[in-house]
Structure 1
Amino acid sequence: MSSSNIETSPAENEVQVILFLHHTYGGAGKNQVDVARAQDGDSNSFGAVAVNDWQLTGSLDPNGQVIARAQGMHFLADRNSQPSGWFNILAIAFQGDRFKENSTLIAAGLNVTEGLWAIIGGTGEFTNARGTISKEKVENNNGVGDIMKITIKATYNPSA
């Protein structure tokens, strides 16, 4: 094989972003909705499904500039109704001028409010992304929602 047939891949980029995820499950500003409940009378809601469109801002202010949206679904996959039993799959779709159009991170993992999600892919600027999103609850909004500080750490190959 001649050297002209060898392709090199460009260097990977890294990104670390801190944002605030506004998880509002009640009240007028609700940004998720339950679409299915357990049908067998299970008191812990095992099998419940919710669809979400959570806004991600640069501050605790839910009315602050939206940097991205976490759009997807989560379902209770733990028969013991543990808070960590909510499995999430979502696309974090970035808005504005910072990242090129159609840039998303695809994430999956347990628990809405704490722990880690795995970054399992991406599009646009974040093509072939991988990494983690750590979550820490920083505020509880009187039974209608929570605010989480999320730290996105990813590597990606924007020209792949």
Structure 2
Amino acid sequence: MASYAITPVQSELKMTLYNKEVYAGPDINGVTIIDRQPMGTTWVFSWPVTDGPAANANIVGHLQGTGVQVANNPNFVWHYSLGLVFGDKRFNGSTLQISGTSQINGEWSIVGGTGELAMAKGTVKRTEISYMGNTRISELKIHAIYTPKNQTIASGKFEKA
């Protein structure tokens, strides 16, 4: 006997989060692993993601991945491959898989997800809201459609005839 479950129910996610990039000093959260000019520089990072832009905002996850410089004319352009790994109560352990080429103010594609955010598709609009010293704060407007694991509209068992 085989069992089955049908889960065509999808949910929409709209949220605004913030990430903090620190390029130097004791709180650095990214490092260059290949330094090439005029392009090809590669770095890895784990940027904290918070529910607000203030220093005392709650950390809800981390953007973890790599960035490769793919152009420098007229501005620096990077290709990113990253995961937004959630650590908050609602989506703890779930991820959004994000990819795309953009400048600081640009848009990435959500190309998948895991856990509660399985099979996510959508976009992340990234906008710089401050840059002081070696620290950049960006707003992340997330819009995704996903298939929650725990929503099933039909289930049962196949039996031999």
Is 1:149 matched with 2:139? yes
**Counterpart secondary structure, 1:122:** strand
**Counterpart secondary structure, 2:143:** strand
- Unpaired stretches in structure 1, ≥5 consecutive residues: 1-5
Deviation at 1:26, TM superposition (A): 1.6
CA RMSD of aligned residues (A): 2.0
| Among candidates 39, 57, 65, match of residue 64 of structure 1 | 57
Query: Matched residues in 2 for 1:148 and 1:103: separation?
Result: 22
Query: Matched residues in 2 for 1:28 and 1:103: separation?
Result: 29
| Among candidates 109, 116, 124, match of residue 118 of structure 1 | 109
Q: Which one-letter code corresponds to 2:79 in the other structure?
A: F
- 1:23-65 CA distance string (max 9 Å, x none): 1112221110001112xxx3x3x11100010011111124431
For the 8 Å contact 1:118–1:132, the answer to whether it is kept is yes
Q: Which one-letter code corresponds to 2:61 in the other structure?
A: A
TM-score between the two structures when normalised by the length of structure 1:
0.84
- Unpaired stretches in structure 2, ≥5 consecutive residues: 151-161
**Counterpart secondary structure, 2:71:** coil
Q: 1:64 to 1:7 in 2, by over 3 A?
A: closer
Is 1:9 matched with 2:7? yes
Question: Aligned ranges for residues 104-115 of structure 1 at < 5 Å?
Answer: 104-111=95-102, 113-115=104-106
Deviation at 1:112, TM superposition (A): 5.5
Is 1:95 matched with 2:93? no
For the 8 Å contact 1:88–1:112, the answer to whether it is kept is no
- Farther off after superposition, 120-129 or 24-33: 24-33
Count residues in correspondence: 148
- Normalized per residue, the structure richer in strand is 2
Deviation at 1:80, TM superposition (A): 3.4
- 1:70-97 CA distance string (max 9 Å, x none): 00000101153722x2111100000021
TM-score between the two structures when normalised by the length of structure 2:
0.84
